[in-house]
Amino acid sequence: MTHLHEIGIVIVTHDSATHIGACLDAAVATGAEVIVVDNASQDGTCAEVERRGVRLIANPSNAGFAGAVNQGIRALRTPLLLLLNPDAIIQSGLESLRDACDDPRTAAVGGMLVDDLGKPQVGFMVRRFPSPAALCLEVLLVNRLWPGNPVNWHYRCLDLNYTAPLEVEQPAGAFLMIRRDAWERLGGFDESFHPLWFEDVDFLKRAQENGYRICYTPRAVAKHTGGHSIRKISLEFRQLYWYRSLLKYAAKHFPPGSEKIVCLAVIIGSVVRTVLGIPHQRSLKPIAVYGKVVRLAGRQLFFGTAG
């Protein structure tokens, strides 16, 4: 492999012991420099990293995904940075990611993510930037009831030919190469998206707004499991984190009128999810979970901040 000394691989972990070994073995085999930033794992993740002699930053508390990405990038000196999820295993094609980043107008390039059967993860690995309509249909459960609706179809890029290189909007942060000069110009990832969700979308959106290109290449492939850390977060905090980051993204990137519509949709959708969730879970817990979400959206709707 040529020029891979120009690439630094940043892997952010949180209770990733069951996945990190295979991820690291494949990453190290590429010859690129690898660094792991661990967000206070309690399951032996750090021991797995140290066993392989990979450079490790072990945070005593959870710095969030954006904060950990920025830590890793600052600790490296390479001109190209590959963000890699701990449940993603590189199979081929880092050279094609590097080649796509040769153009200084390109801020980032994503590769193909495939499942255990080798099937591309269409609908996840590349998306368009979320519009107010796309987020409203998501929180109102329309996408779950009618996943093939035109708005969702467009948002999840189900119309693209993934066998060819493409200029896209939002490749998944699970397997994403970034030019360091673009990262520096844009001020890195926004760490207020804490602890996770929408930070990669926000970064790429800002890149586009600053005139950068964002690309996809099918020649770079990684096998991806997905969601291992998220499943370890309680439902209450999972919902709270996701909605809080969604609302922040809406406030940052949508016109005020559209932002308010998203807030209202979150409130209505949360009430619907509460009503449906109580009999489904045979518990009153959805009241507490979505009550917090309603308060977040209500504060942003009426006072301009989610708190």
Confidence (pLDDT) at 3:
66
The stretch 114-127 carries a mean pLDDT of 96
For residue 252, pLDDT over 80 is answered with yes
The stretch 150-173 carries a mean pLDDT of 97
Confidence (pLDDT) at 280:
87
For residue 229, pLDDT over 90 is answered with no
SS (H, E, C) 153-191: HHHCCCCCCCCCCEECCEECCCEEEEEHHHHHHCCCCCC
pLDDT category at 233 given cuts 50, 70, 90 is low
pLDDT category at 47 given cuts 50, 70, 90 is very high
- In the chain, what percentage of residues exceed pLDDT 70? 95
The stretch 141-169 carries a mean pLDDT of 97
> Which strand (E) or helix (H) includes residue 84?
strand 80-84
The predicted-structure confidence for 273-283, as pLDDT tens digits, reads as follows 999 999 988 89
Superfamily of domain 4-125+162-224: Spore Coat Polysaccharide Biosynthesis Protein SpsA; Chain A (3.90.550.10)
Confidence (pLDDT) at 307:
53
Residues 6+ away with beta carbon under 8 Å from 227: 87
- If one compares 93 and 174, the residue with the highest pLDDT of the two is 174
> Which strand (E) or helix (H) includes residue 248?
helix 235-253
For residue 230, pLDDT over 70 is answered with no
The stretch 201-206 carries a mean pLDDT of 98
> Nearest 5°: phi and psi at 76?
-100, 165
- pTM, two decimals, is 0.95
The stretch 232-250 carries a mean pLDDT of 87
pLDDT category at 44 given cuts 50, 70, 90 is very high
- In the chain, what percentage of residues exceed pLDDT 90? 90
Map out the domains of the chain as residue ranges.
4-125+162-224, 233-303
Residue 297, token pair as written in the block: 């959206």
The predicted-structure confidence for 59-76, as pLDDT tens digits, reads as follows 999 999 999 999 999 999
* Cα dihedral 23, 65, 155, 165 sign: negative
Residue 279 exposed, middle or buried by CB count within 10 Å (0-12, 13-18, 19+): exposed
For residue 236, pLDDT over 80 is answered with no
For residue 305, pLDDT over 80 is answered with no
Confidence (pLDDT) at 4:
78
